[in-house]
């Protein structure tokens, strides 16, 4: 049976030990990332949008280019949304660019061009959910919030509950556990440190327990690393999917400075039905604009 959050909750003394050890490890091993060296609200916000389901190594070059071109929300909001989608490059999930553009416009309209500092105001912006609002409030403003990304969740359930992986979605018990472990001071540092630990040491497929600062406190390790006993975890398919087809169509439009004729789009995907369906979905999502002359643009 899986321990409940109540039975797995760490005693205050043990929690303090976790905070001290993981915090000390973070001070030495934290990667130097631009949104950490420059934790102003806008760079933090852009990074949080880009890092959703996308590894750091792919985000870095796009982030640097983006911040040079659009150093403020107002700078982004002044340009057409198609330019945001174009600059998103091959990060995937291009609706994130669309939503970030909408959030920038809302920041200009509602907050005088300054990223708001409270969870409630952030949550009210387009495209920002619970995690992103908590992360921005924490990392950019030092607020005390539970920040539960995939890496943090994996660290907490392994150390405190003895499970290999968290549930597919955040449960009440999991949030209660994370809340019980949240330090009174520097909760933002705790969030960043546990996130980093999960990203580089307590990884999903090849955890490096020998490098973990809390390996001796980890219930999953003490139990002999039992395998996940929940629903089968499946990797996301790519080849032949609508996602791949949409990506191919967007790549043509992104790389062209001029409107693209339909004939050029027809060349990127052999399955006519799937190609037309994906193009229609891109138009419905507002990522592609059809023009009266039969060409298409972002």
Q: Token pair of 199, please?
A: 């990203």
Q: Are 123 and 129 in contact (CB under 8 A)?
A: yes
Active site includes 48?
yes
Q: Are 44 and 35 in contact (CB under 8 A)?
A: yes
DSSP calls for 34-84: HHHHS--HHHHHHHHHHTTTS-HHHHHHHHHHHHHH-SSHHHHHTS-HHHH
- Rounded to whole angstroms, the Cα distance separating 247 from 284 reads 15
Biggest alpha carbon–alpha carbon distance for the chain? 70
What is residue 208's DSSP assignment?
-
- Rounded to whole angstroms, the Cα distance separating 87 from 69 reads 9
Catalytic residue, chosen from 6, 27, 48, 255, is 48
**What residues are annotated to the active site?**
48
């Amino acid at each position: 049976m899986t321990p409940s959050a109540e039975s797995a909750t760490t005693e205050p003394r043990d929690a303090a030990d976790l905070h001290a050890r993981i915090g000390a490890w973070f001070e030495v091993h934290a990667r130097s990332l631009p949104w950490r060296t420059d934790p102003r609200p806008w760079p933090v916000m852009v990074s949080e949008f880009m890092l959703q389901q996308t590894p750091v190594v792919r985000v870095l070059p796009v982030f640097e280019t983006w911040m040079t071109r659009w150093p403020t929300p107002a700078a982004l909001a002044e340009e057409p949304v198609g330019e945001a989608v174009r600059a998103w490059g091959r990060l995937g999930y291009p609706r994130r660019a669309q939503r970030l553009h909408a959030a920038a416009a809302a920041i200009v309209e509602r907050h005088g061009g300054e990223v708001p500092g409270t969870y409630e105001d952030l949550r009210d912006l387009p495209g920002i959910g619970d995690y992103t609002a908590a992360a921005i409030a924490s990392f950019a403003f030092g607020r005390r919030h539970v920040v539960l990304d995939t890496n943090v969740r994996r660290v907490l359930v392994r150390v405190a509950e003895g499970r290999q992986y968290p549930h597919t979605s955040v449960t009440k018990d999991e949030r209660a556990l994370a809340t019980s472990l949240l330090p009174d001071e520097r909760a933002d540092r705790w969030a960043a440190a546990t996130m980093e630990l999960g990203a580089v040491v307590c990884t999903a497929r090849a955890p490096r327990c020998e490098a973990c600062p809390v390996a001796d406190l980890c219930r999953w390790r003490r139990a002999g690393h039992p395998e996940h006993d929940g629903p089968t975890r499946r990797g996301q398919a790519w080849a032949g999917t609508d996602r791949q087809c949409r990506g191919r169509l967007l790549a043509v439009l992104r790389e062209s400075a001029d409107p693209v004729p339909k004939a050029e789009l027809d060349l990127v995907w052999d399955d006519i039905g799937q190609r037309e369906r994906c193009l229609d979905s891109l138009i419905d999502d507002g990522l592609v604009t059809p023009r009266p002359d039969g060409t298409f643009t972002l």
